[in-house]
Chain A
Amino acid sequence: MSRLKRIALNQHGVQPLGGGHALCQGCGAPSIVRTVLSSIETPVIVLNATGCLEVATSRYPITAWNVPWMHTAFENTAAVASGVEAAYKVMKRRGTLPGGDKEVTIVAFGGDGGTYDIGLQALSGALERGHRFLYVCYDNGAYMNTGIQRSGATPYGADTTTSPVGSESFGKLQQRKDLTAIAAAHHIPYVGQSSGARWQDLSAKVERAVAMDGPAFLNVMSDCPLGWGHEPRVGMEVMRAAQDSLFWPLFEVLNGEYKLSYRPRKVIPVVDFLKMQRRFAHLFKPGNEAVLEAIQQQVEDEWSKLLRLCGEPVTELPVIKPAEKTEQAETPVGAAA
């Protein structure tokens, strides 16, 4: 059976995250959640950090969740998952699990705010302790739930409400932190980076992640039409441009071994990705050329570093320079006004 059919059939008999939630049109999170949970064969137990995904799916007295789901706070989801996993382990050992000793998979979801920043300590502790669970960060690069404030995941140069563009500022002045590498530094069996636009990649990674006997971490790019400033319908294209420009490479780290998942046949310049989003619009105004160059340089440096880690030949990038692509660059797909 094809992967698509298997996901569509849904092993839980029902859609884990049903309709009726209040997430925005075009939000990357729900399709990531559905792809992740439907790729897992056992019943799932879901933990969720405070954030868009949580508030939009659990407003009392209704719920969008058809699988066991729990939220407690913002910064502690990995710690809550640790407790649930410990409970599962000991109840299995003592024979007190409800419904016998059925295998379950514990999955935690957090946004980049709840994972890169306020939840980093709890995540690090849980990964180091070796609890068997999958943590999925849906990374849309800012605190979108509270109104687009910058996070440790916000890209260099992005306009957010707390890194606003002004006469003295070109947006966020710092480079984003490399959370996937931080997770990999915990010597856990599985770390992966995927994208909401690459469901096959994501699904395959989830399968490998949950097969591991230990913690697994997935960092998944998720678009946010509101925060990024693009039409809801083009979210997938924007995220695909993030891969094709090497801005958000796809790779995994299996027991410490880096493996590249996707190498674009044609690498597009990073400005093609940036131009699709209002949060970078100011960078295309005169005077910010150096910022654009710096972003391109950062992307190339990170890519070379990743290739070396993956044992791939580090060749000169076949980047099509913006000048050679004038036509496409001037008509970005669905860029919001």
Chain B
Amino acid sequence: MAVKTQEGAQLLTGGEAVAYAMAQIDPDVFPVYPITPQTPIIQTFAKLVANGKATTEIVNVESEHSAMSATIGAAMAGARSMTATSSQGLALMAEMVYIAAGMRAPIVMAVGNRALSAPLNIHCDHSDSMMIRDSGVIQLFAESVQEAYDHMVTAARIAEHPDVMLPVLVCQDGFTLTHSEEPLILTPDEVVKDFVGEYKIPLPLLDVEQVTTKGIFALQDYYTELRYQMNAAMEAAETVIADVFAEYSPLVGRPFGLLEEYELEGAERVVFLMGSTAGTIKDVVDELRAEGEKVGLLRLVSYRPFPAEAIRKALASAQEVIVLDRSDAPGAVPSLHSEMAAALYGSSAKLRAHVFGLGGRELVPDEARAIFAGEAPTHIALRS
């Protein structure tokens, strides 16, 4: 089947797309360690640097823990620094992800979301991102290759905003996006360069005139206040993300948001989820709408900060909200489900939730129909 693409579009995988965005931004330092399904990012970027398309200093470190450590070192030194990972890599660097946020290092990290071991699995779910949900990093989830690319272009502006100064994770579904070619329109190089601008942080470590002590030791007397400041930064991030998206949107002629509302007009039953599965849900919403059913989709883009107020507003007239978590929480309620229970507390909407897509098990249209019909099991497509 021939794919009809928009004029000027080219076919790229999600991994290639974010690597192209990085080459256009040309960050100073990129410490990185290979892991499936993130590898297309580092391979594509290494090739772009090898061909002179970017002059970034790539540091091929010996682990993801060191990747994030070196990225923090470079970012705090005064250099724009990015890294990339997936799954076990994110798990290994989790300690340093918390530290990056706590030290307010404005790092950008591309993530190809993948299930966590055990058992070992290389395909998509969101459990890796969920593991660091309270670390203080911003997490943006893309539905398409185009959106992953656009998030990558905008991420540095969000991370480096003086009111934010937090790492931004540009998340895309492993394999479904990282390894799948989709038509993509690249933003012109000079537009990206102008948009992203220069990296400037207050008091870089490499300033030997204005000497700083970084990564301090704080006990009962100051720790609470220093951690609390991240709440204010996350609150500011909600506005900053919206502002940065609003500034970028007219440059490329595509809408962006912390949420995407799809057929919410008069929708009584609304699915709420993140990531590429939204594509399948949209198709099913179209079919059900054609059959006269009042269904819709609310897609979450910004997992952190979690835009609870905007979600409440978007779902004001929904009668039933169906949350789809692509990660499980044995012995408790999965992340999106619990966030939504809190966000919709006091609302008259009924809340239903399912776990789907673990370890790359795709959600098919028939299952989506069953979900809307209220006939799906708690764990979608679970075999007995």
Name A's B-contacting residues (CB within 8 A): 43, 45, 47, 54-55, 58-61, 63, 65-73, 75-76, 79-84, 86-91, 93-94, 96-99, 102, 104, 121-122, 124-126, 128-129
Contact = CB atoms under 8 A, between A and B. Distances in A.
Nearest to B199: A96
B70 A86 contact: yes
Given A79-B66, A83-B59, A72 B78 contact: no
A84 B206 CA distance: 8
B206 A91 contact: yes
B117 interface: no
Contacts of A76: 65-66, 69, 96
Contact of A68 (B57, B207, B216): B207
Determine the interface band of chain B, counting residues with CB < 8 A from chain A: 35 or more
Contacts of B206: 45, 68, 84, 87-88, 91, 97-98, 104
Nearest to A14: B211
A56 B208 CA distance: 23
Interface of B: 28-29, 31, 55-57, 59-63, 65-67, 69-79, 81, 95-96, 99, 103, 198, 204-209, 211-219, 222, 226
Contact of A70 (B56, B209, B214): B214
Nearest to A131: B59
A58 B213 contact: yes
B79 A122 contact: no
A97 B99 CA distance: 25
Contacts of B95: 73
Given A60-B218, A65-B213, A70 B61 contact: no
B62 A124 contact: yes
Contacts of B216: 58-60, 63, 71
B70 A83 contact: yes
A54 B216 CA distance: 8
Nearest to B211: A68
A73 B74 contact: no
Contacts of A69: 212-214
A125 B79 CA distance: 21
A66 B211 contact: yes
A73 B66 contact: no
Given A82-B70, A83-B70, A87-B28, A99 B209 contact: yes
A82 B31 contact: yes
A65 B66 CA distance: 25
A67 B61 contact: no
A70 B66 CA distance: 16
Contacts of B217: 54-55, 58-60, 71
A123 to B, nearest CB: 10
Given A60-B218, A68-B211, A90-B28, 14 more contacts: A54-B217, A58-B213, A59-B217, A70-B214, A71-B215, A76-B69, A84-B73, A86-B79, A87-B75, A96-B28, A98-B78, A122-B69, A124-B62, A126-B66
